[in-house]
Structure 1
Amino acid sequence: MKERIERLKKLTYIPQNEIAWLFEQAELSVKQQEIIEENKRQQEVTVHQFRQAQKDIQQLSGDRKRYKQALEKIITNLNFAIQVAQNELEGATK
């Protein structure tokens, strides 16, 4: 392709079929650039979504840890309440 372009640059008259070829190449170049730009845009969207998902995962992990700690406290308190109730029942039956 470069050789053909260099040959065309040297001509003072460019045949119609060569001009058509140049237009075709220019159109292809524009289409390729549009595809590249769309791919870049899609990549940016994907990167943004990935980063947002990372933030969401971190937040959910923190929430999970807090819920687990709260649940453990509830279980401890329930076990204590059960133990107190059992002790009261044993004292009442004696």
Structure 2
Amino acid sequence: MKERIERLKKLTYIPHNEIAWLIEQAELAVKQQEIIEENKRQQDVTVHQFRQAQKDIQHLSGESRRYKKALEKIITNLNFAITVAQNELEGDAK
């Protein structure tokens, strides 16, 4: 490609096929730039979504820990209540 460009620079008259090649290359460069920009945009969106997902996971993990602790307290209280009730029933049975 570089050789063609250098050859074109030296020409005073540029043949039609060379002009067509230049136009084709320019159009290709524009398409490639558009693809690069779209890929960059998609990458930015993906990074944002990934970071948001990380925040959501951290939040949900915290909630999960809080619910687990609360459930453990409820279970402990229920076990205590069951024990008290059993003791009362055994006392009434005697």
TM-score > 0.5, shorter chain as reference: yes
Unaligned runs of 5+ in 2: none
State the alpha-carbon separation in 2 of the partners of residues 40 and 28 from structure 1.
18
Unaligned runs of 5+ in 1: none
Give the superposed CA RMSD. 0.5
TM-score by length of 1: 0.98
**CA apart distance, 1:14:** 0.6
The aligned amino acid for 1:43 is Q
State the alpha-carbon separation in 1 of the partners of residues 6 and 70 from structure 2.
76
State the alpha-carbon separation in 2 of the partners of residues 15 and 52 from structure 1.
56
Confirm or deny that 1:36 pairs with 2:46: no
Confirm or deny that 1:62 pairs with 2:59: no
**CA apart distance, 1:23:** 0.3
Confirm or deny that 1:51 pairs with 2:55: no
Identity of aligned residues (%): 87
Residues paired across the two proteins, number:
94
Per the alignment, residue 15 of structure 2 pairs with 15
TM-score by length of 2: 0.98
State the alpha-carbon separation in 2 of the partners of residues 2 and 37 from structure 1.
25
Which consecutive aligned stretches of 4+ in structure 1 deviate over 6 angstroms post-superposition?
Answer: none
